[in-house]
Structure 1
Amino acid sequence: MPNLAGTRSRIRRVPMLRRSRAVWMSKRVWRPRLVFWLGALAVGLVSVAFAEMADWAQRMFEAMASHLGPAALLVVPPAGFALSSYLALRFFPNSGGSGIPQAIAARHLESDADRGLLLSLRTAMGKIFLTLLGLLSGASIGREGPTVQVGAAIMLATGRLGGMAHARGLILAGSAAGIAAAFNTPLAGIVFAIEEMGRAYEARTNGLVLSAVVLAGLASLALTGNYTYFGRTDADVVTASGWLLVVACGVLGGAFGAMFSGGALAIMRRVRRWTKGAPARIVAVAALCGLVVALAGLLSGGTTYGTGYEQARSAIEGTALSPFFFLAKFVAGLASMVSGIPGGIFAPSLAVGAGLGSTIGLAFGLGSGLAATLGMAGYFAGVVQAPMTAFVIILEMTGNAGNVVPVMLASLLGFGTARLVSGAPLYHSLSRNFVADILRHRRLMEQKGSAEPKG
């Protein structure tokens, strides 16, 4: 007798295979994927272009500073800060500050219209332009935080174009891709997405985040090659004094990091109350902060202007920094952040941490390379209160796989110390301000709409 069961099974399998082939060949399936992949590649390309322009802006300021006298350098930062603040208020609202709080806030909003106020392509363009203006003015800012907002805006726009409904996942993927491409640190991009951007991380976004990071990273690698952001250090912790250095860098770094974040939040709360509804006051505060940055730059011999990349790199590679560099850079970074102009704190914070670690290393009579690395881990974990992101990003940026445990311990100690000193995570505290502003704006629009006469 014929095998009727097997025949029926084959008959059922043929339509299923046809349906499966039809689904996979469908434009409806592939169009969102292709648009998403193109968006991730765009994040990588924009991140690389942003990095090149940021380096150019910093070189232009350094060239200008070498030709100007001290009196002129007291004018350029305040004027640049005031102009950046005015342009942000007038033409690019919600582009101020790091950009990471805006991306976090957008993930908490339900409406596409509300998210668009924080993550539009117009805002992203303004973010890039005004961050470059800040670097041309000598601000102690970085481009990495702004790249997160830019990446999230690009992914949200491409997802909308491709008909993808997972807005929160797109924001997460764009943010992770931005970090990965900005630092050439793919692992740090993924960890950042899990720990800092998505405290309520959803497993279904795994594929979005991973594919966005891979594609953005490939675009970055194709244009810049495989490099370590802060060079390489081969120093290892092998002695008891080395482990004491780990503890000192972790605890002191965390304490100073908490002082930075807690101080910034306290000052910005007061500034926010004083400037409420008064744009002229906001611009005046920015100009005053620019003056503080100018004074810090003059007193430090110009080392505190800009990102601090060169100083951190030299410390990592073994050149001891001035014992007072980290204090001057701390003040310049705090003033730049409080000013509210577009610009991030990642690179300046790492520079402060490298300077602090270098100073601690001098006190211990040890080399600056290892101490700078540990100082970066402790301070950065203290500022952002994200220890996993801190140690992964620093290990990838310095290429020192032999110090996994010491860097991890310094990050953990920095985080623990910061939690004792200041319990408020910086980015999430700032994101609540953006959420409140957007909800207030929506209520105002609804009130205006209900007050209009019905025709």
Structure 2
Amino acid sequence: MLIPKRHRRRRLLRLHSQRLQRRVIFVIGGLVVGAAAVGLALAADQAQALFHSFQTEFPYGVLLLTPLGFAAIVYATNTYFPNSQGSGIPQAIAARALRAPRDRRKLVSIRIAIGKSILTIAGLLCGASIGREGPTVQVGASIMAAIGGYSPRRQPGLILAGSCAGIAAAFNTPMAGIVFGIEEMSRSFESRTSGLIIGAIVAAGMTSLALFGNYTYFGSSSAHLPHLVDWVAVGICGVVGGLMGGIFSRVLVLFGAGFRGRFGQIIKSRPVLFAAACGLLVALCGVLTHGSVYGTGYEQAREVLHSRETLSWYFAPLKLLATALSSISGLPGGFFAPSLSVGAGIGSNLSYFFPDTPIGALVLLGMVAYFAGVVQAPITAFVIVAEMTDNHGMLVPLMLAALIARSTSRLVCKEGVYHALSHKFLAEAGPDAPLRGSRDDKKLDDGAEAGPDEKRDGPSSSAS
């Protein structure tokens, strides 16, 4: 039976209206995520400045402030903002894979976004070795999911767009935001959603540029490898950075999964006391390093990148330890920026073995290698470091270092830390809650019509 012409026009008009609505949602969401990322960045910088002032005046006062701060933050997290602990990227990955909207809301919501932001700033106020970039991903995913909350079938795509926009706005690295979405968040990129996600990233980036100006996160670097013999450092940095990154990831995965026996029971039954113990150890690391391991580590990484002076040999291992303690304590806070500072410390230490190689090049290699070892996402690692330093002359050695680091890391930790930690949140949702199979995931990302199981606000019994 032929469809009347006026009905075809009406249907076509409705289709165009829905497509326009989707574009508007993604763009508005990107603008809001960009503003949220800038606000979190400004608040985080102020928090670090206040802690630095306190630590300078009362260097041993941190032995009381940091443990008490850790304990209070973990108590608030567990009591008022559950599922806001840690980086936030595993929660975004898990939320994107879940079927039911009510399961997603446990991981990404405006309530969690507010709690995540406040508690991350509180962590920096008491000296935790954490970053704001991972939390920005969960905040971005929460904002986008809330804006598109009336349409559950679009939420996986919105969560992906919000996560990518969060990374792009946090570092002012739009290309890294796209690559992060492909390699880490979705492991694929559908052509029908690519324009919408890029639109959200552009909107977030424009907001960041309007409020912050056009800046490079670590400043422009012209470091390079002038001689062929300097390429030996690429392999060494890849192996050392990958090994240390794998060890860090392994520690986080082990504590995330939980331990059996008495030790595991103590951690589970007394999370606030365990957080205080972690805080005390972080404070001791800070005292031993004269305060250099507190916070994000941004200043230390930038300083060694642009000067010929090296960091103390103990900075990298103690910064790694402080970051691991902050992460396993249950605090909300990421390890994106702290990982880059640990990598900078690794590059600085290796300069003693390569005195004729520019230290800036070794620092870049260390950053990429360690970060690739932690997340096992080599493309994201070298793209984000190249964008953050405006250095494209080092792309090939950075690529090679990232690949070597990823392979080395897998000898210690079989899976990237973000995806490994996301399994816990998927398991808590139940065996039938996650989407099964790429076809369902693709339908939700593309905004296609959802089936009855996908529209129902509750766990689905099965997936086709």
- What TM-score do you get using the length of structure 2 for normalisation? 0.87
CA separation of 1:211 and 1:50: change in aligned 2, threshold 3 A: same
Q: Aligned equivalents of 2:190 and 2:259: distance in 1? A: 36
Equivalence map 1:307-322=2 (5 Å): 307-318=296-307, 319-322=309-312
User: Which 10-residue stretch deviates more, 382-391 or 364-373?
Assistant: 364-373
The residue number in structure 1 matching 2:158 is 170
Equivalence map 1:146-161=2 (5 Å): 146-161=135-150
Does 2:345 align with 1:358?
no
Task: Say which of 359, 376, 381 aligns to 1:385.
Answer: 376
**Cα offset for 1:417?**
0.8
The residue number in structure 2 matching 1:398 is 389
3-state SS of the aligned residue for 2:24?
helix
Deviation string 1:381-426 (CA, Å, 9 cap, x unpaired) is 0000000000000000011111110111111111111112321221
Letter in 1 for 2:33: V
The residue number in structure 2 matching 1:238 is 226
**Cα offset for 1:22?**
4.3
Letter in 2 for 1:85: V
Q: Aligned equivalents of 1:16 and 1:241: distance in 2? A: 72
Q: Aligned equivalents of 2:19 and 2:386: distance in 1? A: 39
User: Larger Cα Rg: Structure 1 or Structure 2?
Assistant: 1
**Cα offset for 1:34?**
2.2
Task: Say which of 284, 291, 312 aligns to 2:273.
Answer: 284
User: Which 10-residue stretch deviates more, 276-285 or 38-47?
Assistant: 276-285
User: 1:231·1:316 contact (CA, 8 Å) conserved in 2?
Assistant: no
User: 2:81·2:115 contact (CA, 8 Å) conserved in 1?
Assistant: yes
Equivalence map 1:1-80=2 (5 Å): 22-23=13-14, 26=17, 28-70=18-60, 72-80=61-69
The residue number in structure 2 matching 1:213 is 201
3-state SS of the aligned residue for 1:235?
coil
Deviation string 1:351-405 (CA, Å, 9 cap, x unpaired) is 0000001110232103321111000010000000000000000000011111110
Q: Aligned equivalents of 2:70 and 2:432: distance in 1? A: 26
Residue correspondences, number? 427
3-state SS of the aligned residue for 1:424?
coil
Bigger relative CO (Cα 8 Å, ≥ 6 apart) = 2
User: 1:88·1:341 contact (CA, 8 Å) conserved in 2?
Assistant: yes
**Cα offset for 1:17?**
11
The residue number in structure 1 matching 2:323 is 333
Task: Say which of 126, 146, 158 aligns to 1:137.
Answer: 126
**Cα offset for 1:24?**
7.9
Equivalence map 1:239-258=2 (5 Å): 239-258=227-246
Q: Aligned equivalents of 1:379 and 1:356: distance in 2? A: 8
**Cα offset for 1:19?**
6.0
Q: Which runs of 5+ in 1 are unaligned?
A: 1-13, 443-448, 450-455
Q: Aligned equivalents of 1:368 and 1:244: distance in 2? A: 14
Q: Aligned equivalents of 2:431 and 2:113: distance in 1? A: 22
The residue number in structure 2 matching 1:408 is 399
Q: Aligned equivalents of 1:276 and 1:40: distance in 2? A: 42
User: 1:97·1:342 contact (CA, 8 Å) conserved in 2?
Assistant: yes
RMSD: 2.3
**Cα offset for 1:277?**
10
CA separation of 1:16 and 1:214: change in aligned 2, threshold 3 A: farther
The residue number in structure 2 matching 1:11 is none
Q: Aligned equivalents of 2:242 and 2:388: distance in 1? A: 20
3-state SS of the aligned residue for 2:323?
helix
Q: Identity over aligned residues, as a percent?
A: 50
Q: Aligned equivalents of 1:242 and 1:151: distance in 2? A: 40
Q: Aligned equivalents of 2:290 and 2:266: distance in 1? A: 38
**Cα offset for 1:266?**
2.0
Task: Say which of 315, 329, 348 aligns to 2:338.
Answer: 348
Letter in 2 for 1:377: V
Q: Aligned equivalents of 1:22 and 1:115: distance in 2? A: 32
The residue number in structure 1 matching 2:210 is 222
Deviation string 1:426-446 (CA, Å, 9 cap, x unpaired) is 11111010111222899xxxx
User: 1:173·1:209 contact (CA, 8 Å) conserved in 2?
Assistant: yes
3-state SS of the aligned residue for 1:230?
coil
Q: Which runs of 5+ in 2 are unaligned?
A: 434-457, 459-464
Deviation string 1:309-344 (CA, Å, 9 cap, x unpaired) is 000011111232112110110110111111111000
Q: Aligned equivalents of 1:391 and 1:19: distance in 2? A: 49
The residue number in structure 2 matching 1:446 is none
The residue number in structure 2 matching 1:375 is 366
CA separation of 1:32 and 1:19: change in aligned 2, threshold 3 A: same
**Cα offset for 1:159?**
1.2
Greater helix fraction, Structure 1 or Structure 2: 1
**Cα offset for 1:92?**
0.3
3-state SS of the aligned residue for 2:411?
helix
Q: Aligned equivalents of 1:374 and 1:69: distance in 2? A: 33
Q: Aligned equivalents of 1:212 and 1:61: distance in 2? A: 34
CA separation of 1:49 and 1:260: change in aligned 2, threshold 3 A: same
3-state SS of the aligned residue for 2:360?
helix
Deviation string 1:186-221 (CA, Å, 9 cap, x unpaired) is 000000001011125434321222111111111111
The residue number in structure 2 matching 1:452 is none
CA separation of 1:133 and 1:271: change in aligned 2, threshold 3 A: farther
The residue number in structure 1 matching 2:462 is none
The residue number in structure 1 matching 2:75 is 86
Q: Aligned equivalents of 1:363 and 1:129: distance in 2? A: 43
3-state SS of the aligned residue for 2:394?
helix
User: Which 10-residue stretch deviates more, 41-50 or 315-324?
Assistant: 315-324
User: 1:170·1:208 contact (CA, 8 Å) conserved in 2?
Assistant: no
Letter in 2 for 1:381: A
**Cα offset for 1:242?**
1.4
The residue number in structure 2 matching 1:301 is 290
